[in-house]
A and B are shown apart, each in its own frame.
Chain A
């Protein structure tokens, strides 16, 4: 691990050189929001973003991905990753990607994810502006961000650049970096610690207490009650950095002879998610009611995966809270309600 410093006046040059020679995905403005995308110019990169609409997992696990292609000659694997730099990722999204790394690796290695992950260099960045629904300061505090290659922190006069891997160290060549002083390192640590207290929303209980109480409330009427105004639209799933459920569909090309088998993001809040057709016009939906599906998401985030991940499968980004039209998806509101009940 090494610590470097780069002055504000040199930072633009670093971004220019890096984006000129590498495939970079970074936060850029889209109207009055932010998205992770390929910047058209280095000036477009906005490290002062609060949160992006979709999480950066999309650079590794895209909304639509061809698993294989087929033609009359047979089937061909679609795995063909290109090296890329995922730049400016906030710590909560780093935590989420680290969770996906484990989940796609465990039991059966899925290289349709892992290969793209392997080819991705992740450069984190400190949070300069806090989004309105963020609660990353109080969720899963025992889980540290890891798996990234470098981390940038905005401090007085420039940025502290901490390298954690060779891939992170490799980017030094693009900028006028110098060794950071102990004072600059201390300042960066202070910046990253202080921001944690600035979240507008807060969980009031420990991960363990939440996991136990939420699980014990499985049969509570509270789920159906909270889900009353749910549209089953799945937005909370789609914007979530730790959701990884998917659907698989085949599609023909225009020639009607070849095509692709594609996976696309799916969501357990959607009505058809667990529905099977039994034949004779009958079907069975194993999570038929809105409350069943609403509960499943919260259970997944707060309890089911905790043992495996060392903490909740929620990183506090607040995207689900902000994206939910009836505003009922906010994990803080849901969990605090259960804890107080």
Chain B
């Protein structure tokens, strides 16, 4: 736990040890240009919400931050690892880059053949080759944090959707990433299960984790994030604090989008 809340980290730049920067990120799937040169910065210990209409490129942008989808061009830096995607990048460098961030999927993607605890310890023990006992203890702490210690020996199919997603979050955190990425973490959940997942993410923001969250939960984005990016047609159309982008949008497209989401009828 960091002792400062997210607000303080912004206020005191000397505390910032690292940041995440993206510059001119481009990505096309076939003829479809999904990202057309996207740039932004995420400061350590802040939460950034990416909102925007479907097909605007927000998920692709998030996946680019973890190189799950390799951009065609652009430079992304997470902590001390910088990749220039306009050149071919060797696999070990990609893996080093990926090790700086954790990823939470829309559909959790837990490993069904492993218990809750094994899902969390798999990365630290097998990939990072850290001592089992130590990882085990940390994993239990993480499970405690997401409120699922008693489920540690269950298999994913025995959990509800919200519980599965919380285990997915614990799995991502177990690798001690510098950056945690969330891809619409509540979109696949029943409405009554959304709250438990959002409150876990909110706690992470308060604790000082660096978060980037693709979400349709506008109220949640407003409450939790320090920065909001509104993507539209492959570019970041508008960015700023939640009060600026959500509270007082400058762009017509942003207004239309927020209006549709907040007043669906």
Q: Do A and B come from one complex?
A: no
- A-side residues, CB < 8 A to B, are none
Contact surface of B with A, Cβ cutoff 8 Å? none
